[in-house]
Copies of this chain bind each other. A is one copy, B any other.
Protein backbone atom coordinates (compact mmCIF):
# COMPACT_ATOMS: atom_id res chain seq x y z
CA UNK A 1 0.00 0.00 0.00
CA UNK A 2 1.24 3.44 -0.87
CA UNK A 3 1.41 5.81 2.06
CA UNK A 4 -0.38 9.13 1.80
CA UNK A 5 2.76 11.00 2.82
CA UNK A 6 4.96 9.53 0.08
CA UNK A 7 5.18 12.59 -2.13
CA UNK A 8 5.59 15.00 0.78
CA UNK A 9 8.54 12.85 1.87
CA UNK A 10 10.00 12.66 -1.64
CA UNK A 11 9.76 16.44 -2.06
CA UNK A 12 11.30 17.02 1.39
CA UNK A 13 14.08 14.50 0.71
CA UNK A 14 14.81 16.35 -2.53
CA UNK A 15 15.03 19.72 -0.80
CA UNK A 16 17.22 18.38 2.03
CA UNK A 17 19.48 16.55 -0.45
CA UNK A 18 19.92 19.62 -2.65
CA UNK A 19 20.46 22.06 0.23
CA UNK A 20 23.12 19.74 1.72
CA UNK A 21 24.85 19.36 -1.66
CA UNK A 22 24.75 23.05 -2.60
CA UNK A 23 26.94 23.83 0.43
CA UNK A 24 30.02 22.74 -1.50
CA UNK A 25 29.38 25.37 -4.20
CA UNK A 26 30.30 28.03 -1.62
CA UNK A 27 33.89 26.76 -1.42
CA UNK A 28 35.69 28.50 -4.27
CA UNK A 29 38.81 27.15 -5.92
CA UNK A 30 41.69 29.42 -4.81
CA UNK A 31 43.03 31.52 -7.68
CA UNK A 32 46.82 31.58 -8.02
CA UNK A 33 48.79 32.98 -10.97
CA UNK A 34 50.34 30.44 -13.33
CA UNK A 35 53.90 30.69 -12.00
CA UNK A 36 53.07 29.17 -8.61
CA UNK A 37 53.72 25.57 -7.59
CA UNK A 38 52.34 22.86 -5.32
CA UNK A 39 53.49 24.56 -2.13
CA UNK A 40 51.51 27.73 -2.84
CA UNK A 41 48.39 25.70 -3.66
CA UNK A 42 48.72 23.72 -0.42
CA UNK A 43 48.98 26.96 1.55
CA UNK A 44 45.96 28.37 -0.29
CA UNK A 45 43.90 25.26 0.42
CA UNK A 46 44.81 25.38 4.12
CA UNK A 47 43.73 29.03 4.21
CA UNK A 48 40.24 27.89 3.17
CA UNK A 49 39.68 26.52 6.70
CA UNK A 50 36.75 28.88 7.47
CA UNK A 51 34.95 27.62 4.36
CA UNK A 52 35.69 23.98 5.20
CA UNK A 53 34.62 24.50 8.80
CA UNK A 54 31.34 26.17 7.76
CA UNK A 55 30.74 23.39 5.21
CA UNK A 56 31.24 20.64 7.82
CA UNK A 57 29.16 22.45 10.44
CA UNK A 58 26.19 23.06 8.13
CA UNK A 59 26.42 19.59 6.58
CA UNK A 60 26.09 18.07 10.02
CA UNK A 61 23.20 20.40 10.91
CA UNK A 62 21.20 19.57 7.78
CA UNK A 63 21.95 15.86 8.25
CA UNK A 64 20.62 15.98 11.84
CA UNK A 65 17.55 17.89 10.62
CA UNK A 66 16.96 15.32 7.89
CA UNK A 67 17.35 12.37 10.28
CA UNK A 68 14.92 14.11 12.62
CA UNK A 69 12.45 14.69 9.78
CA UNK A 70 12.87 11.07 8.71
CA UNK A 71 12.06 9.78 12.21
CA UNK A 72 9.26 12.28 12.70
CA UNK A 73 7.46 11.29 9.49
CA UNK A 74 7.17 7.70 10.74
CA UNK A 75 4.55 8.96 13.18
CA UNK A 76 2.49 10.73 10.55
CA UNK A 77 -0.41 8.79 9.10
CA UNK A 78 -1.62 11.28 6.49
CA UNK A 79 -1.28 14.82 5.27
CA UNK A 80 -3.52 17.84 4.79
CA UNK A 81 -2.90 21.48 3.79
CA UNK A 82 -1.98 22.61 7.27
CA UNK A 83 0.69 19.91 7.42
CA UNK A 84 1.97 20.63 3.90
CA UNK A 85 2.36 24.34 4.66
CA UNK A 86 4.04 23.65 8.03
CA UNK A 87 6.42 21.27 6.25
CA UNK A 88 6.99 23.98 3.63
CA UNK A 89 7.99 26.38 6.41
CA UNK A 90 10.64 23.92 7.62
CA UNK A 91 11.91 23.49 4.05
CA UNK A 92 12.04 27.28 3.58
CA UNK A 93 14.67 27.55 6.29
CA UNK A 94 16.47 24.41 5.16
CA UNK A 95 16.98 25.89 1.70
CA UNK A 96 18.08 29.14 3.37
CA UNK A 97 20.97 27.49 5.31
CA UNK A 98 23.55 27.69 2.45
CA UNK A 99 23.36 31.51 2.56
CA UNK A 100 24.26 32.11 6.27
CA UNK A 101 26.81 29.29 5.85
CA UNK A 102 28.45 31.26 3.04
CA UNK A 103 28.39 34.40 5.20
CA UNK A 104 30.16 32.53 8.03
CA UNK A 105 32.64 31.00 5.56
CA UNK A 106 33.47 34.48 4.26
CA UNK A 107 33.68 36.39 7.55
CA UNK A 108 34.85 33.85 10.15
CA UNK A 109 38.34 34.97 11.15
CA UNK A 110 37.65 38.63 10.18
CA UNK A 111 36.46 41.59 12.25
CA UNK A 112 32.85 40.86 11.23
CA UNK A 113 32.83 37.27 12.56
CA UNK A 114 30.40 38.04 15.38
CA UNK A 115 27.68 39.46 13.13
CA UNK A 116 28.16 36.53 10.72
CA UNK A 117 27.77 33.90 13.45
CA UNK A 118 24.83 35.74 15.05
CA UNK A 119 23.10 35.72 11.64
CA UNK A 120 23.89 31.99 11.35
CA UNK A 121 22.55 31.16 14.82
CA UNK A 122 19.50 33.38 14.19
CA UNK A 123 18.66 31.14 11.23
CA UNK A 124 18.52 28.18 13.60
CA UNK A 125 16.12 30.04 15.90
CA UNK A 126 13.78 30.22 12.88
CA UNK A 127 14.36 26.56 11.96
CA UNK A 128 13.62 25.34 15.50
CA UNK A 129 10.43 27.44 15.56
CA UNK A 130 9.42 25.96 12.19
CA UNK A 131 9.98 22.44 13.51
CA UNK A 132 7.70 23.31 16.43
CA UNK A 133 4.99 24.46 14.01
CA UNK A 134 5.41 21.20 12.06
CA UNK A 135 5.18 19.17 15.26
CA UNK A 136 2.01 21.00 16.31
CA UNK A 137 0.44 20.58 12.85
CA UNK A 138 0.71 16.83 13.39
CA UNK A 139 0.46 16.29 17.14
CA UNK A 140 -2.11 18.87 18.32
CA UNK A 141 -5.17 16.85 19.26
CA UNK A 142 -3.31 13.91 17.65
CA UNK A 143 -4.63 15.13 14.30
CA UNK A 144 -2.30 13.11 12.09
CA UNK A 145 -0.35 10.81 14.43
CA UNK A 146 -0.56 7.05 14.19
CA UNK A 147 -2.67 5.65 17.00
CA UNK A 148 0.07 3.35 18.31
CA UNK A 149 2.34 6.26 19.34
CA UNK A 150 1.95 6.65 23.13
CA UNK A 151 1.01 10.10 24.50
CA UNK A 152 4.02 9.94 26.80
CA UNK A 153 6.35 9.76 23.78
CA UNK A 154 4.73 12.76 22.13
CA UNK A 155 5.15 14.74 25.35
CA UNK A 156 8.85 13.91 25.63
CA UNK A 157 9.52 15.09 22.09
CA UNK A 158 7.33 18.17 22.62
CA UNK A 159 9.50 19.15 25.60
CA UNK A 160 12.70 18.54 23.61
CA UNK A 161 11.41 20.71 20.74
CA UNK A 162 10.68 23.53 23.18
CA UNK A 163 14.31 23.73 24.32
CA UNK A 164 15.51 24.44 20.76
CA UNK A 165 14.36 28.05 20.21
CA UNK A 166 15.54 29.05 23.70
CA UNK A 167 19.10 27.72 23.37
CA UNK A 168 19.44 29.02 19.81
CA UNK A 169 18.29 32.48 20.92
CA UNK A 170 20.89 32.42 23.71
CA UNK A 171 23.59 31.31 21.26
CA UNK A 172 22.63 34.19 18.94
CA UNK A 173 23.09 36.66 21.80
CA UNK A 174 26.34 34.98 22.88
CA UNK A 175 27.63 35.26 19.29
CA UNK A 176 27.51 39.07 19.55
CA UNK A 177 30.02 38.72 22.39
CA UNK A 178 32.13 35.84 20.97
CA UNK A 179 31.71 34.15 17.59
CA UNK A 180 33.27 30.86 18.68
CA UNK A 181 31.28 30.67 21.93
CA UNK A 182 28.08 31.11 19.87
CA UNK A 183 29.04 28.30 17.49
CA UNK A 184 30.03 26.03 20.40
CA UNK A 185 26.67 26.59 22.11
CA UNK A 186 24.91 25.78 18.81
CA UNK A 187 26.87 22.55 18.40
CA UNK A 188 26.38 21.49 22.01
CA UNK A 189 22.65 21.78 21.52
CA UNK A 190 22.66 19.37 18.61
CA UNK A 191 24.45 16.74 20.68
CA UNK A 192 22.04 17.28 23.57
CA UNK A 193 19.01 17.44 21.31
CA UNK A 194 19.96 14.28 19.43
CA UNK A 195 20.20 12.46 22.77
CA UNK A 196 16.95 13.86 24.16
CA UNK A 197 14.96 13.65 21.04
CA UNK A 198 15.87 10.47 19.26
CA UNK A 199 15.27 7.81 21.84
CA UNK A 200 11.55 8.49 22.21
CA UNK A 201 10.99 7.59 18.59
CA UNK A 202 12.32 4.14 19.40
CA UNK A 203 15.54 3.02 17.88
CA UNK A 204 15.79 0.18 15.42
CA UNK A 205 13.08 -0.33 12.81
CA UNK A 206 13.16 -3.09 10.26
Query: Which residues of chain A have a CB within 8 Å of any CB of chain B?
Result: 1-4, 7-11, 13-25, 27, 29, 32, 34-42, 45, 55-56, 59-60, 63, 66-67, 70, 73, 77-81, 84-85, 88, 91-92, 95-96, 98-99, 102-103, 106-107, 110-116, 118-119, 176, 198, 203-206
Contacts and interface: CB of A to CB of B under 8 A. Distances in A.
In the complex this chain forms, how many copies of it are found? Answer: 4
Contact of A206 (B36, B45, B78): B78
Contact of A80 (B24, B102, B205): B205
B95 A59 contact: yes
A115 B16 contact: no
Contact of A38 (B3, B21, B92, B114): B114
What secondary structure prevails in chain A residues at the interface with B? helix
Contact of A32 (B96, B112, B113): B112
A82 to B, nearest CB: 9
Name the residue in A11, A16, A70 with the highest tally of chain B Cβ atoms < 10 Å from its Cβ.
A11
B36 A111 contact: yes
A29 B103 contact: yes
A34 B106 CA distance: 10
Nearest to A51: B99
Nearest to A94: B21
Contact of A36 (B3, B8, B112, B205): B112
A1 B35 CA distance: 61
Contacts of A34: 110-111
A23 to B, nearest CB: 7
A116 B14 CA distance: 30
Given A106-B29, A115-B39, A24 B81 contact: no
